[in-house]
């Protein structure tokens, strides 16, 4: 590589790294506990629920939703509207989200959990805990969509820094054996060797984390594009019909039976009620997934007319949305149980050291 090209790549690597370093420190530090969010949250569970998975069988969904509406009315002092139903694929826990209206913002939603095997209430999901705060900080810096987009740009810069660092690694390290750490040299050289070695060892993982982080950061625009494009085309022949009032909602169990007949062998992950971000103005949107580590994150929505219970359409989600669904668990190592999460944590610590040695090298050069 010519000297002019090396200089240009070095400039790109330096400034792309510097601009995103502070954000990456925050993301690594908040991401470490989030890797183990399931294990941390399980400590607070009073008892594990026993019985078949709520995604497969249990009390009628209409009964569970009626219980949630009653609990919401007692807790909020007003009547509510069902917004979502969330299922579990390994235990009887089922979650019903209630809000004051169909298009309620997330801050006004309340989540009630039940044992679908018995119909007994488990309790309301409390918001505002430490893990919720860390997730919000990691996701959008507590700033909503602007914060998400900012972190998306930082993730893209991180990927640029990784690729430019790889380009620089080859010419600068060609005279040294792989893994060489020159302990007999100055502190700056030792830091440089550690920075290069850990950086190249963790390169594959950091590229995955950077790319999935960038995709996750654009979740809201991607969802809006799906709703305005694919979802709109699924109900195109019903354009002009007015939004369905909650009093006109038909049986959820009937809608589920119609959807399951169209997608045999798949399990429901969640239901979006009419008027929400994941459905149309008059449909139940029932999202199904498979039962393998990969297909469990690939969703297929079935739209069922909430008034008549008739199946309107079943259509796989587009590639952009499938990439979004796959990137979320991959970003936090949710594919391979605790062993993979430990690997994710070790690589996060290695990335923190790469960031620190890179910052030390830059500050030392300025001095």
* H-type alpha helices, the chain: 3-35, 37-43, 61-76, 130-140, 145-173, 187-201, 203-217, 219-226, 232-234, 252-262, 319-331, 337-366
Assigned token pair, 158: 């991180």
Q: Is residue 110 part of a domain?
A: yes
340 and 323 co-located in one domain: no
Place of tokens 């469990």: 296
119 and 253 co-located in one domain: yes
CB count in 10 Å sphere of residue 352: 16
Q: Is residue 138 part of a domain?
A: no
Specify the pairing of strand 81-86 against strand 311-314. unpaired
Q: Is residue 45 part of a domain?
A: no
Length of the chain: 367
204 and 158 co-located in one domain: yes
Report the distance separating Cα 282 and Cα 37, nearest Å.
35
Contacts of 340 (CB under 8 A, 6+ apart): 333
Place of tokens 């009073």: 46
Q: With b meaning 16 or more CB within 10 Å and e meaning fewer, what string describes 288-302?
A: bbbeeeeebbbbbbb
Report the distance separating Cα 268 and Cα 351, nearest Å.
37
Assigned token pair, 104: 């309620």
Contacts of 3 (CB under 8 A, 6+ apart): none
246 and 125 co-located in one domain: yes
Q: Is residue 53 part of a domain?
A: no
Place of tokens 């979502």: 84
196 and 322 co-located in one domain: no
Contacts of 188 (CB under 8 A, 6+ apart): 361, 364
Q: What is the pLDDT of residue 238?
A: 65
261 and 322 co-located in one domain: yes
Gyration radius of the chain over CA positions: 24
234 and 177 co-located in one domain: no
Q: Is residue 162 part of a domain?
A: yes
231 and 321 co-located in one domain: yes
Q: Is this structure's pTM higher than 0.85?
A: no
Q: Is residue 44 part of a domain?
A: no
State whether residue 123 is helix, strand or coil.
Answer: strand
CB count in 10 Å sphere of residue 82: 25
Q: Is residue 52 part of a domain?
A: no
Place of tokens 């507590």: 142
Residues 285, 272: contact at Cβ < 8 Å? yes
State whether residue 235 is helix, strand or coil.
Answer: coil
206 and 159 co-located in one domain: yes
Assigned token pair, 185: 């040299």
Nearest to 91 by CA among 55, 53, 60, 64: 53
Per the structure, how many domains does the chain have?
2
First to last CA, the chain: 29
107 and 230 co-located in one domain: yes
Walk along the chain (367 residues) and give the pLDDT tens digit of each residue: 577 888 899 899 999 999 999 999 999 999 999 998 877 776 655 456 888 999 999 999 999 999 999 999 999 999 999 999 999 988 999 999 999 999 899 889 999 999 999 999 999 988 777 888 999 999 999 898 999 999 999 999 999 999 999 998 877 777 777 777 787 788 888 888 888 888 989 999 999 999 999 999 998 898 888 888 888 888 776 655 677 899 999 999 999 999 999 999 899 999 999 998 889 889 999 999 987 776 788 899 999 999 999 999 999 888 888 888 888 888 888 776 788 889 999 999 999 999 999 999 888 776 5
124 and 230 co-located in one domain: yes
Q: What is the pLDDT of residue 148?
A: 94
Show the domain range for 249: 61-129+226-328
Q: Is residue 207 part of a domain?
A: yes
179 and 318 co-located in one domain: no
């Amino acid at each position: 590589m010519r000297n002019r090209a090396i200089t240009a790549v070095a400039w790109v690597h330096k400034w792309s790294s510097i601009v995103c370093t502070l954000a990456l420190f925050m993301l690594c530090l908040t991401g470490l506990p989030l890797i183990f969010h399931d294990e941390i949250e399980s400590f607070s569970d009073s008892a594990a629920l026993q019985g078949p998975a709520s995604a497969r069988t249990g009390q009628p969904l209409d009964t569970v939703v009626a219980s949630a509406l009653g609990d919401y009315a007692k807790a909020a002092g007003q009547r509510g509207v069902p917004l979502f139903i969330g299922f579990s694929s390994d235990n009887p826990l089922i979650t019903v989200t209630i809000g004051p209206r169909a298009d309620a913002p997330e801050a006004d939603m309340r989540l009630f959990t039940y044992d679908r095997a018995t119909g007994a209430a488990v309790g309301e999901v409390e918001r505002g805990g430490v893990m919720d705060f860390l997730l919000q900080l990691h996701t959008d810096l507590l700033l909503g969509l602007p914060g998400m987009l900012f972190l998306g740009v930082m993730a893209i810069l991180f990927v640029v820094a990784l690729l430019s660092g790889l380009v620089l690694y080859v010419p600068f390290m060609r005279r040294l054996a792989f893994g060489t750490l020159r302990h007999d040299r100055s502190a700056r050289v030792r830091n440089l060797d550690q920075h290069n070695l850990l950086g190249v060892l963790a390169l594959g993982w950091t590229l995955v984390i950077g790319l999935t982080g960038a995709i996750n950061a654009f979740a809201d625009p991607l969802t809006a594009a799906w709703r305005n494009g694919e979802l709109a085309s699924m109900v195109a022949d019903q354009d002009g019909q007015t939004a369905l009032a909650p009093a006109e909602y038909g049986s959820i169990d009937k809608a589920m039976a119609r959807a399951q007949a169209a997608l045999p062998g798949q399990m429901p992950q969640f239901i979006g009620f009419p008027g929400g971000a994941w459905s149309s103005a008059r449909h139940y949107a029932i999202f199904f997934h498979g039962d393998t580590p990969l297909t469990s994150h690939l969703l297929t929505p079935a739209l069922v007319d909430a008034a008549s219970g008739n199946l309107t359409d079943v259509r796989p989600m587009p590639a952009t949305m499938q990439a979004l669904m796959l990137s979320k668990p991959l970003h936090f190592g949710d594919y391979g149980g605790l062993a993979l999460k430990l690997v994710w944590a070790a690589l996060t610590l290695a990335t923190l050291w790469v960031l620190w040695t890179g910052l030390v090298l830059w500050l030392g050069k300025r001095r």
